[in-house]
Amino acid sequence: MTRYLRIFATCIALALAGSCDDDSAPEPQIPEGKRPILLKVDYEALSSRVVQEVQPYDYWGINDQLRLGYMTDTRTSGVASCISLDNHTACFIVEADYAAQQLFAYFTSNSGVAYNRTMTFDIPTTQRKTSHDDYGDARRYMEFYTRPVSLTPDTEEVTAIACPTGSMLRLMIYDSRNPGVKEAIQHVDFESFFAEPIAGNLSCDLTTGEVTKLSTTGTRVSVVWDPISDADLLTVPGSKEQAQMIGMVVLPTDRVSGTFSVVTDQYTYTFPVTEAMRFDAGYERTIWLDLAEADWREVCYVGVLGDSISTFLGYISSEYGAYYPAGDVTEVSDTYWYKLIYEYMTNGELDINSSFAGTRVTTDPKYPGYDFVSRCCDFIHPDVVLIHGGTNDTNNSVPLGAYDYDLPVESLNPDEFRPAYIKLIRTMQERYEGVQLICIVGDRLGENYARSVVEIADHFGLPCVNFYGDGDNIPKYSGSHPTAEGFSYMARKIYEQTKEYLR
């Protein structure tokens, strides 16, 4: 058995380079006092719970994400490699010392080797896709672990059962009524009618295998399409046979009912679901969505360009820093921009939120390439863009500069506030023909900065919502960052003063 294990470990190392025919290859270096153990993770046992319209989920695309550890009486440690042996079993080699008491394994997208007795799994509210890989991006959120397996000093081979933490939805989207119309899908949402969360955090106690729910992020899940190029745009086909497939991962639940929405570059399609569904951990449910059978409405896409006041984790690029959630702003629905789009507007949908905590309208050596002008072309096809910036320019006493309206765009100084703001407006108007820009003056801007934004907006004929001197109505959690009450006031005032531009 020991000789087999050594050959097997060598095969793993050479898996990408070629095959392993004999034991002449170099043996792996096993640290003194440790020995290899073969762990088989059995997926076949999952099939015992298959029900109608539910199929076993295929895990094989994420074997490189496996983390394996062994537990002693004082700490957790370990490393692993893996290959698939057949349709249901994967094998892993782990170095475990003789005192190891338990062995466990888990798939995860972000964590490294476990060094704690518990680990957390996250199924986010917003799941982003960047290409036509039908499941690859969604698999990042389909994590699983094994219940601990007891070891003895003589253990050479053990078998564990895979325990998934998520349930997979395979959404098949098409339009039987308009086969010749090609609409680009922006995002697909599922909103549950029940209080039981379908997205959030789980914690697994690796010593007992017990899973508990931690903080939850709500009853809504969105799969957002972030195309890298035009070639990655996902369009709606006209026949069921050519339906586009989108993977969505949710928390398992015994009973859930809700509404599916498909948001394209032209309309929002809503599919009310009245019958309760069951989402089983580790299984895949297929749902067909024909746009011809949905309620639909025109869409007004709203983009957001801001600093920390406009951020919320999971709703901005992963490259950008977020300030919120913080204080009593615990849900994205507490933010001013989300309230404006989804509570006040009738047909509002978020295009892209291009906000980054700490950034200025002007250039900043701390965040090179992330000033407002550099990010103002992040949007897809906005009808409206909210511009809320200048607080960090004020805090850093950025030079105001002149109102250089007549200079070419490329000649405007990005290091001075007024020229940079003018450059921002002109760049966006040239990039997005017909876009309606709305300028927002924060209550913590310095007086000269606030007046500058009002003057520039007036020059370009843009609506401007001015919160300067309005700070008493906007309670703060910290510094310039509003509380949920403050955001409610902001959303209401923005809508009241700009509703003619918002539909």
Model confidence at 240, pLDDT cuts 50, 70, 90, reads confident
Same domain assignment for residues 276 and 337 = no
Residue with tokens 């004020």: 394
Give the tens place of pLDDT for each residue, 155-193: 767 776 667 778 888 888 989 887 666 788 888 999 998
Strand 185-192 versus strand 80-84 pairing type: unpaired
- Boundary of a domain, candidates 251, 266, 297: 297
Model confidence at 347, pLDDT cuts 50, 70, 90, reads confident
- Boundary of a domain, candidates 250, 271, 297: 297
Give the tens place of pLDDT for each residue, 308-324: 999 998 889 878 999 99
Tokens representing residue 422 in the block: 């003018």
- Main-chain dihedrals φ then ψ at residue 409, nearest 5 degrees: -55, -45
Domain with 321 in it: what CATH number?
A: 3.40.50.1110
Structural domain includes residue 5? no
Residue with tokens 């955001």: 487
pLDDT, residue 42, reads 59
- CA-CA distance, 376 to 389, in Å (whole number)? 12
Same domain assignment for residues 232 and 333 = no
Same domain assignment for residues 222 and 176 = yes
Q: Considering only CA atoms, which of 431, 447, 307, 427 is closest in space to residue 364?
A: 307
Same domain assignment for residues 268 and 358 = no
Give the tens place of pLDDT for each residue, 362-408: 999 999 999 999 999 999 889 999 999 999 999 999 999 999 999 99
Longest dimension (CA), the chain: 82
Q: What residue numbers bound the domain in which 472 lies? A: 300-501
pTM of the model: 0.58
Structural domain includes residue 104? yes
* 3-state secondary structure string across 360-375: CCCCCCCCCCCCHHHH
How many domains, the chain? Answer: 2
